């Protein structure tokens, strides 16, 4: 029996220092709480175990929202970027998302530096073994060495480390990602506390020695020089330092994979857990999409100080000898040397139907979860949850109302509502298609939607808040200036000159944008907007272009909010409500929705059940 000893008294203890743990710890410490962050290894702080990138489709929205609320991920991504690209530029503004190729080591170093220089935060290397409780409330976190961190709240951000096993061919090892040690002590305690624990899987591709890759056989992928950064605090544009490259699998690659499925853990019964649907292994892609002659592979630099190359799109758990054989079939990789082999990793996570929209556990007061322990995949989803768990733990300790974002307010709101209302049976990934109000919650207006909320919670700094007010004033000025009208003849000549239909009436600049002109064209022909930064001007242009749709969207949001405003008592016993179907009663009793709106989104609860609830409440 290892004797206990006191490590100190804290307001909050964060278990884990990945992307969720970092945002949670910073949110708590920056709002004045005495915080401890416990991590298995200081070298794994903000570690990018898989793709060395931040953002991407819908994920870029999350990063902008984290930044708008006062989080760190966007600032860190900007500081350590190797390349920036805006995705979906050929589509509407609602689905355009910023993606950053990051310097993996620099990202870790910068985040570690940020944590180390944050007041109120103590960082400790150690493994959590038990969450100590008294009368249904958190009272501390105990380590495997007997150290006890007494606290009022604990946030579990354990990533993929709980009972983690890496799998490659027939070799199964007790290991976290990249050879880091797994966390083997906590799962048993979580089950004792009442969590429903499941087993999920993810994977990663090989890393190659860049000296052995023939990039001349690949398509070069440069970054964009004119995109704005993630953080509203970052000035100017990000300099693109390194390119990425595109190549493809082929018939030979697929033939090797299909001929060795009996050695694939995914197909021979070694792996039984659920993997990510939207980031499948190369084995799964070749089997599932048998009609495809090739699959894209992106060759991405891991950092400016290393020759390692990440092969996005070729995640695998095949044996090492097969990996060598299949990689050598790809154009540009014929003579590549593998520096780190691909592997799959299995880990424990919880059922998110057991937690509130604040991310607090329903059975233990003051115990929160965030990130991949909640069944999500992706650094951005994890960081968003970490920030919200940290903020809500802080708000509760400070006796303030929780921050619960609606689906019409933020992608973060969609993410958390999906988790706590619908749950997930596979690693959850954010996508723009999950957001029904995506035109209203674009990445360009994240600060307009959220910075006031972050300021009211005490997380947004005065400097950041001042920046927000300045951008808001510039945006309003831009809208006003664009209402300026010009004579019909001048407007007609301009429109025809850029290939649009002419006009016989005077038009405002805003009218021209609605007709298809761009702000850059207008500024070139007439005059630049005065006193407006590029960011505010872009937001104004987008608003004008989609104004009609936005107004219709606001009407839909107003109707939906009527259901959200009808609150449901937490102690309501749905089994006693006559008229509800048995399935609806069981689901409602398990999830305990906060409102009729949330109840209406629960799988197994239909409109007739909602009608019964409305009558019951009356």
Which residue is listed with tokens 């839909």?
Answer: 556
Helix (H/G/I), strand (E/B), else coil: 234 = coil
pTM equals 0.95
Asked if residue 98 lies in contact with residue 482, where contact means CB atoms within 8 angstroms, the answer is: no
Give 278-316 pLDDT, tens digit per residue. Answer: 889 999 999 999 999 999 999 999 999 999 999 999 999
Segments forming the whole domain that contains residue 604: 566-617
Q: Name the domain count of the chain.
A: 4
Is residue 266 located within the same domain as residue 401? Answer: no
The pLDDT assigned to 278 comes to: 82
Give 148-185 pLDDT, tens digit per residue. Answer: 999 999 999 999 999 999 999 999 999 999 999 999 99
Task: Report the DSSP beta bridge partners of residue 83.
Answer: 101
The pLDDT assigned to 236 comes to: 87
* Residue ending a domain, choose from 344, 364, 388: 344
| pLDDT above 80: residue 66 | yes
| pLDDT above 80: residue 548 | yes
Alpha helix stretches (DSSP H) within 483-594: 488-497, 509-515, 519-525, 534-545, 547-565, 582-591
Question: Dihedrals φ, ψ of 557, to 5°?
Answer: -65, -40
Is residue 114 located within the same domain as residue 222? Answer: no
Residues 6 or more apart whose Cβ sits within 8 Å of residue 83: 100, 101, 222, 223, 240, 241, 242, 243, 244
Which residue is listed with tokens 């060495």?
Answer: 145
Asked if residue 103 lies in contact with residue 79, where contact means CB atoms within 8 angstroms, the answer is: no
Stretch 132-141: mean pLDDT: 98
Stretch 104-121: mean pLDDT: 98
- CA angle 157/161/167 to nearest 5° reads 150
Residues 6 or more apart whose Cβ sits within 8 Å of residue 423: 351, 352, 353, 375
The pLDDT assigned to 272 comes to: 85
Whether 545 maps to a domain, the answer reads: yes
- Spatial strand order of the sheet with 147-150 comes to 5-9, 147-150, 137-143, 128-134
Is residue 545 located within the same domain as residue 583? Answer: no
Please report, rounded to a whole number, the percentage of residues in the chain having pLDDT higher than 70: 100
Short-list 175, 211, 210, 198, CA closest to 343: 175
Whether 114 maps to a domain, the answer reads: yes
Is residue 525 located within the same domain as residue 597? Answer: no
Stretch 86-105: mean pLDDT: 95
Whether 368 maps to a domain, the answer reads: yes
Separation between Cα atoms, residue 308 and residue 299, nearest integer Å: 10
pLDDT bucket at 574, cuts 50 / 70 / 90:
very high
pLDDT bucket at 570, cuts 50 / 70 / 90:
confident
Q: Which long-range contacts (CB under 8 A, 24 or more apart) does 458-467 make?
A: 458/30, 458/31, 458/32, 458/394, 458/398, 459/27, 459/30, 459/31, 459/69, 459/70, 459/71, 459/391, 460/69, 460/70, 461/70, 463/233, 464/70, 464/232, 464/233, 467/232, 467/233
Asked if residue 253 lies in contact with residue 329, where contact means CB atoms within 8 angstroms, the answer is: yes
Residue 420: DSSP 8-state: I
Whether 177 maps to a domain, the answer reads: no
Is residue 303 located within the same domain as residue 366? Answer: no
Give 197-251 pLDDT, tens digit per residue. Answer: 999 999 999 999 999 999 999 999 999 988 899 999 999 899 999 999 999 999 9
Residues 6 or more apart whose Cβ sits within 8 Å of residue 90: none
CATH of the domain at 601: 1.10.150.570
Beta strands in 135-227 (DSSP E): 137-143, 147-150, 153-156, 165-168, 171-174, 197-204, 207-209, 219-221
The pLDDT assigned to 123 comes to: 98
Which residue is listed with tokens 């794994």?
Answer: 44
In which element (H, E) is residue 446 found?
A: helix 446-457
Stretch 270-283: mean pLDDT: 88
Question: Dihedrals φ, ψ of 339, to 5°?
Answer: -90, -40
The pLDDT assigned to 118 comes to: 98
Short-list 363, 400, 311, 416, CA closest to 51: 311
Give 310-339 pLDDT, tens digit per residue. Answer: 999 999 999 999 999 999 999 999 999 999
The pLDDT assigned to 563 comes to: 87
Separation between Cα atoms, residue 581 and residue 613, nearest integer Å: 11
Whether 183 maps to a domain, the answer reads: no
Is residue 265 located within the same domain as residue 321? Answer: yes
Mean pLDDT across the chain, nearest whole number?
95
**Sign (positive/negative) of CA torsion 341, 332, 51, 102?**
positive
Asked if residue 25 lies in contact with residue 122, where contact means CB atoms within 8 angstroms, the answer is: no
Please report, rounded to a whole number, the percentage of residues in the chain having pLDDT higher than 90: 93
Diameter of the chain by CA atoms?
A: 90
Is residue 575 located within the same domain as residue 541? Answer: no
pLDDT bucket at 21, cuts 50 / 70 / 90:
very high
The pLDDT assigned to 279 comes to: 84
pLDDT bucket at 467, cuts 50 / 70 / 90:
very high
Here the tokens at position 296 are 């894209």
Helix (H/G/I), strand (E/B), else coil: 115 = helix
Whether 561 maps to a domain, the answer reads: no
* Residue ending a domain, choose from 552, 576, 605: 552
Separation between Cα atoms, residue 328 and residue 356, nearest integer Å: 49
Here the tokens at position 579 are 């008229």
Is residue 340 located within the same domain as residue 363? Answer: no
Asked if residue 412 lies in contact with residue 388, where contact means CB atoms within 8 angstroms, the answer is: yes
Separation between Cα atoms, residue 422 and residue 605, nearest integer Å: 11
| pLDDT above 80: residue 1 | no
Query: CA of 423: how far to CAs of 81, 356, 568, in Å?
Result: 34, 12, 20
Here the tokens at position 575 are 């089994």
- CA angle 437/442/445 to nearest 5° reads 125
Give 389-431 pLDDT, tens digit per residue. Answer: 999 999 999 999 999 999 999 999 999 999 999 999 999 999 9
Separation between Cα atoms, residue 340 and residue 129, nearest integer Å: 31
Half-sphere exposure of 315 (CA within 13 A, CB side): 22
The pLDDT assigned to 560 comes to: 86
Is residue 418 located within the same domain as residue 478? Answer: no
Is residue 336 located within the same domain as residue 240? Answer: yes
Stretch 259-287: mean pLDDT: 91
| pLDDT above 80: residue 38 | yes
* Residue ending a domain, choose from 518, 552, 586: 552
Whether 253 maps to a domain, the answer reads: yes
Residues 6 or more apart whose Cβ sits within 8 Å of residue 520: none
In which element (H, E) is residue 116 found?
A: helix 104-116
Whether 401 maps to a domain, the answer reads: yes
**Within 10 Å of residue 292's Cβ, how many Cβ atoms?**
11
Here the tokens at position 545 are 């272009």
Task: Report the DSSP beta bridge partners of residue 208.
Answer: 309, 338
The pLDDT assigned to 277 comes to: 85
Is residue 446 located within the same domain as residue 394? Answer: yes
Here the tokens at position 212 are 């052995």
Here the tokens at position 29 are 């410490």
Is residue 247 located within the same domain as residue 332? Answer: yes
Residues 6 or more apart whose Cβ sits within 8 Å of residue 264: 257, 283, 317, 318
CATH of the domain at 296: 2.40.30.260
The pLDDT assigned to 260 comes to: 96
**Within 10 Å of residue 555's Cβ, how many Cβ atoms?**
9
CATH of the domain at 548: 1.10.10.1800
């Amino acid at each position: 029996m290892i004797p206990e000893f006191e490590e100190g008294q804290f307001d909050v203890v964060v278990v884990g220092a990945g992307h969720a743990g970092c945002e949670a710890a910073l949110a708590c410490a920056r709002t004045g709480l005495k915080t401890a962050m416990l991590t298995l290894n200081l070298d794994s702080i903000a570690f990018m175990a898989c793709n060395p990138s931040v953002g991407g489709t819908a994920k870029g929205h999350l990063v902008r929202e984290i930044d708008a609320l006062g989080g760190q991920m966007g600032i860190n991504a900007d500081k350590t970027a190797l390349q920036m690209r805006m995705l979906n530029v050929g589509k509407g503004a609602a689905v355009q998302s910023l993606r950053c190729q990051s310097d993996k080591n620099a990202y870790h170093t910068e985040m570690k530096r940020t944590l180390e220089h944050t007041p109120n935060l103590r960082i400790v290397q150690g493994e959590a073994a038990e969450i100590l409780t008294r009368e249904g409330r958190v009272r501390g976190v105990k380590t495997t060495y007997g150290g006890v961190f007494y606290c009022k709240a604990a946030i579990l951000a354990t990533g993929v480390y709980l009972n983690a096993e890496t799998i490659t061919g027939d070799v199964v090892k007790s290991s976290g990602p990249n050879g880091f040690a797994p966390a083997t002590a906590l799962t048993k305690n979580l089950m004792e506390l009442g969590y429903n624990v499941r087993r999920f899987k993810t994977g990663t591709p090989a890393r190659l020695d860049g000296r052995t890759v023939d990039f001349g056989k690949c398509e070069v992928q440069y970054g964009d020089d004119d995109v704005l950064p993630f953080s509203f605090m970052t000035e100017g544009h990000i300099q693109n330092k390194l390119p990425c490259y595109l190549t493809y699998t082929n018939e030979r690659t697929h033939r090797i994979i299909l001929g060795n499925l009996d050695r694939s853990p995914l197909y021979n019964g070694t792996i039984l857990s659920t993997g990510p649907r939207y980031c499948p292994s190369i084995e799964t892609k070749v089997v599932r999409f048998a009609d495809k002659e090739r699959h894209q592979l992106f060759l991405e630099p891991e950092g400016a100080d290393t020759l390692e190359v990440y092969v996005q799109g070729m995640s695998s758990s095949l044996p090492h000898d097969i990996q060598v054989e299949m990689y050598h079939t790809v154009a540009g990789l014929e003579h590549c040397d593998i520096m780190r082999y691909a592997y799959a990793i299995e880990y424990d996570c919880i059922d998110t139907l057991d937690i509130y929209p604040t991310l607090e556990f329903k059975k233990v007061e003051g115990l929160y979860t965030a990130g991949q322990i909640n069944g999500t995949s992706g650094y951005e989803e994890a960081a968003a949850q970490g920030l919200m768990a940290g903020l809500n733990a802080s708000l509760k300790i400070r006796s303030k109302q929780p921050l619960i974002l609606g689906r019409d307010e933020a992608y973060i709101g969609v993410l958390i509502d999906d988790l706590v209302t619908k749950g997930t049976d596979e690693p959850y990934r954010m996508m723009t298609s999950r957001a029904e109000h995506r035109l209203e919650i674009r990445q360009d207006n994240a600060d307009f939607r959220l910075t006031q909320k972050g300021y009211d919670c005490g997380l947004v700094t005065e400097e950041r808040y001042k920046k927000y007010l300045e951008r808001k004033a510039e945006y309003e000025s831009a809208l006003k200036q664009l209402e300026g009208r010009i004579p019909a003849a001048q407007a007609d000549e301009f429109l025809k000159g850029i290939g649009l239909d002419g006009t016989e009436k005077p038009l405002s600049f805003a009218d021209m944008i609605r007709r298809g002109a761009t702000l850059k064209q207008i500024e070139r022909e007439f005059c630049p907007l005065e006193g407006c930064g590029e960011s505010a001007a872009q937001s104004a242009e987008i608003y004008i272009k989609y104004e009609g749709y936005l107004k219709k969207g606001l009407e839909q949001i107003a109707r939906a909010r009527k259901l959200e405003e009808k609150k449901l008592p937490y102690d309501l016993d749905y089994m006693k409500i006559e008229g509800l179907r048995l399935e609806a009663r069981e689901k409602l009793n398990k999830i305990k929705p906060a409102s009729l709106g949330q109840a209406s989104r629960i799988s197994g609860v239909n409109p007739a059940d909602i009608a019964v609830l409305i009558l019951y409440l009356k």
